[in-house]
């Protein structure tokens, strides 16, 4: 177990007392430089964590948006602080923010804030925001509180007849649309890649089929058909070239054989 840091507890108590004192002075804001640690606190909480909060949209609250959302944010931070143990640094930071909001309520007047919240009661909505959207809302409340000077008189619009209190606001809708686009972007990029891979595979298959068809046609040709195709060619060439001339040696041999045949015929005739 971690030992209790007495010095940190004393600092938080001193901050609470100083905030209540200075918040009562007109024109003095109870906010301190600790507002800058909101980003650190947001980074220590998982992004997919859902935080319960009641709020009034700006479109409905108008200029009274700040004074209508101070106490709901304070209540939500108290619920979030109970999620951490007493020695957690996150709980200490949340306690500081709660103290500043309490000083802001004391400066503006708790009774006036209660009356305004009662007048706008039907316009409050309940939401479970993710970490990033929730702390953006908290930071916006502190940013508006830095320039507040006093309570404002607000006239609430008529209560909605069809829109339920838990309906989704425009800011929350935009956030969900952005998150949906982030999740669907890899899928959208994967579609053309898969199409190119399919097209390349289809072209390879088609080329293989063409090669197989050409090879099968070549094997189907017989040697006789090729000889038939080449047969008329030598005859055609012989017809074009004409009769061949005999060499002198061949002509001499033919004359000798003719003389021998004549002598044999004469000898046969004499014998008869």
Residue 243 CB coordination number (10 Å): 6
How does 189-219 read in b/e, with b if 16+ C-beta sit within 10 Å? eeeeeeeeeeeeeeeeeeeeeeeeeeeeeee
Gap between the Cα atoms of 76 and 95, Å rounded: 12
Would you state the structure tokens that stand for residue 79, as one six-digit string?
């619920």
According to the model, what pLDDT value does residue 16 have? 44
- Helix spans in the chain (H): 6-23, 38-43, 58-61, 65-81, 89-108, 110-119, 131-145, 170-220, 223-230, 232-241, 248-271
Looking at residue 69, what is its pLDDT?
A: 95
Q: Under a CB-based contact definition with an 8 Å cutoff, are residues 34 and 101 in contact?
A: no
Of the chain, the end-to-end C-alpha distance in Å amounts to 155
pLDDT for the residue numbered 169:
54
pTM (predicted TM-score): 0.53
Q: Which pLDDT score, from 0 to 100, does residue 232 have?
A: 53
How confident is the model over 248-264, as pLDDT tens digits?
666 666 777 776 677 77
Task: Give me the tens of pLDDT residue by residue for the chain, a chain 272 residues long.
Answer: 334 444 444 444 444 444 444 444 444 567 777 788 889 999 999 988 999 999 999 999 888 899 999 999 999 999 999 999 988 999 999 999 999 999 999 888 888 889 889 999 999 999 999 999 999 999 999 998 888 777 777 788 888 875 444 445 555 566 657 666 666 767 777 788 888 888 888 888 878 777 777 776 666 655 555 555 555 555 545 445 455 555 666 666 677 777 667 777 767 666 65
Considering all CA atoms of the chain, what is the largest pairwise distance in Å, rounded to the nearest integer? 174
């Amino acid at each position: 177990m971690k030992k209790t840091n007495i010095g940190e507890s004393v600092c938080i108590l001193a901050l609470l007392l100083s905030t209540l004192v200075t918040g009562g002075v007109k024109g003095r804001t109870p906010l301190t430089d600790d507002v800058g640690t909101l980003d650190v606190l947001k980074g220590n909480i998982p992004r997919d964590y859902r935080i319960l909060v009641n709020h009034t949209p700006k479109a409905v609250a108008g200029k009274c948006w700040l004074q209508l959302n101070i106490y709901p944010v304070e209540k939500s931070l108290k619920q979030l602080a109970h999620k951490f143990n007493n020695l957690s640094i996150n709980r200490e930071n949340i306690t500081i923010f709660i103290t500043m909001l309490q000083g802001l309520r004391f400066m503006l007047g708790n009774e006036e804030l209660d009356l305004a919240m009662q007048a706008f009661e039907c316009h409050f909505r309940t939401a479970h925001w993710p970490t990033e959207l929730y702390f953006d809302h908290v930071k916006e409340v502190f940013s508006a509180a830095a320039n507040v000077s006093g309570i404002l008189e607000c006239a609430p619009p008529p209560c909605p007849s069809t829109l339920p209190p838990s309906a989704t606001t425009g800011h929350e809708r935009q956030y969900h649309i952005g998150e949906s686009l982030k999740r669907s972007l890899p899928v959208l990029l994967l579609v053309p890649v898969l199409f190119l891979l399919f097209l390349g595979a289809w072209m390879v298959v088609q080329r293989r089929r063409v090669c197989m068809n050409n090879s099968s046609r070549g094997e189907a040709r017989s040697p006789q058909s090729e000889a038939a195709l080449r047969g008329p060619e030598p005859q055609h060439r012989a017809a074009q070239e004409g009769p061949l001339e005999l060499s002198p040696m061949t002509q001499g041999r033919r004359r000798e054989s003719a003389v021998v045949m004549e002598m044999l015929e004469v000898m046969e005739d004499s014998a008869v």
